[in-house]
Amino acid sequence: MKAFGVIAAASVVAVTTAQRPVDAIEHIVIWMQENRAYDHYYGMAPGVRGFNDRSAMLLRSGHSIFFQPSNQNTPETSYILPFQTSTLTTSATCMNAPAMDYTTDILMWNGARYDSWCTGRAPGMGMGYFNRSDLPYYYQLYGNFTALDAYHQSTFTQTNPNRLHLFSGSNGLSVGQSAVLDNSEPKPGWTWITMAEVLEANNVSWRTIQQPDNFDDDGNAWFKSFHDAKPGDPLYEKGVIKSQTLLQSSTMSSLRAPSLRLRGLSALNH
């Protein structure tokens, strides 16, 4: 489980008897982050399947999955429990992330035993978590949106393959191409169809809102169709342009819309 990931918000108007609830949705905002498991942000939040999950699976050691072995020879007594990484008294927001890639993820998964989070790699701060005092903004989101806690990463891989799933529904294999398992970005780009192109072809409005420094995490930019797009083309105007002003005005006006009624906060481990 590698990343806290997608926040979806829908702004709606009053629903009349002639409307279906889905007809009232005006905007869906998808905000994808990475390298944060759900419990890393919300494991201490009330009402979620966090660290107090009574149905958490048991490991071979007999402990719950939160008792991750630090020594596979003595898992009953050698383990690391979740621990707070305070942003108020330490530089926890700048801590290095433990290793995460296809090979490492498969080792941590350990044949569906889920007991090698700390032994399939150097554990580092991998069992650390934040709470409300560390993340007041995220807990404000949690308090105002419905939290969905059973969504997980698309693939046991690095960043790009999971973002490919968000932007196109595939990382290659399901569309007849080789599976992308790492952060490679071929030039001039992948050639299967993206979600943006499907929306455009079906007359559904869409836009990628991104700041000038997007950390190279815009999945559309890895596709040939976007690479070849020119000013004036819909893919260029809606999916290539980067603007800090657009990011602030468009995103925040949608999230602060006074007609906000139908709401959802999804945490995706990617």
Whether the per-residue pLDDT at 77 is higher than 90: the answer is yes
User: Using CB atoms within 10 A of its CB, is residue 18 exposed (0-12), middle (13-18) or buried (19+)?
Assistant: exposed
| DSSP H helices in 10-128 | 38-42, 102-109
Instruction: Please check whether residue 104 lies inside any domain of the structure.
Output: yes
pLDDT tens-digit series, residues 216-226: 999 999 999 99
Q: Determine how many CB atoms are found less than 10 A away from the CB of residue 12.
A: 19
Q: What is the pLDDT of residue 247?
A: 59
Q: What is the pLDDT of residue 7?
A: 42
The helix/strand count (H/E) of the chain reads as: 9, 8
Where b means 16+ CB within 10 Å and e means fewer, 101-137 reads: bbebbebbbeeeeebbbbbbbebeebbbbbbeebbee
3-state secondary structure of 174: helix
84 or 27, greater pLDDT: 84
Q: What is the pLDDT of residue 253?
A: 55
Lowest-confidence segment of 21-35, 105-119, 147-161, 176-190 by average pLDDT:
21-35
Instruction: Please check whether residue 59 lies inside any domain of the structure.
Output: yes
Q: Determine how many CB atoms are found less than 10 A away from the CB of residue 217.
A: 14
3-state secondary structure of 148: strand
pLDDT tens-digit series, residues 11-48: 444 445 567 777 888 888 888 887 788 899 999 998 88
Whether the per-residue pLDDT at 266 is higher than 70: the answer is no
Instruction: Please check whether residue 98 lies inside any domain of the structure.
Output: yes
Instruction: Please check whether residue 120 lies inside any domain of the structure.
Output: yes
Whether the per-residue pLDDT at 66 is higher than 70: the answer is yes
Share of the chain above pLDDT 70, in %: 84
Q: Which amino acid is at 32?
A: M
Residue range of the domain that includes 84? 54-126
User: Using CB atoms within 10 A of its CB, is residue 47 exposed (0-12), middle (13-18) or buried (19+)?
Assistant: exposed
User: 148 pairs with which residues across the strands?
Assistant: 266
Instruction: Please check whether residue 154 lies inside any domain of the structure.
Output: no
Instruction: Please check whether residue 47 lies inside any domain of the structure.
Output: no
Q: What is the pLDDT of residue 33?
A: 81
Instruction: Please check whether residue 202 lies inside any domain of the structure.
Output: no
- pTM of the model as a whole: 0.83
Q: Is 194 left (phi over 0), alpha (psi -120 to 50) or beta?
A: beta
Q: How many domains does the chain have?
A: 1
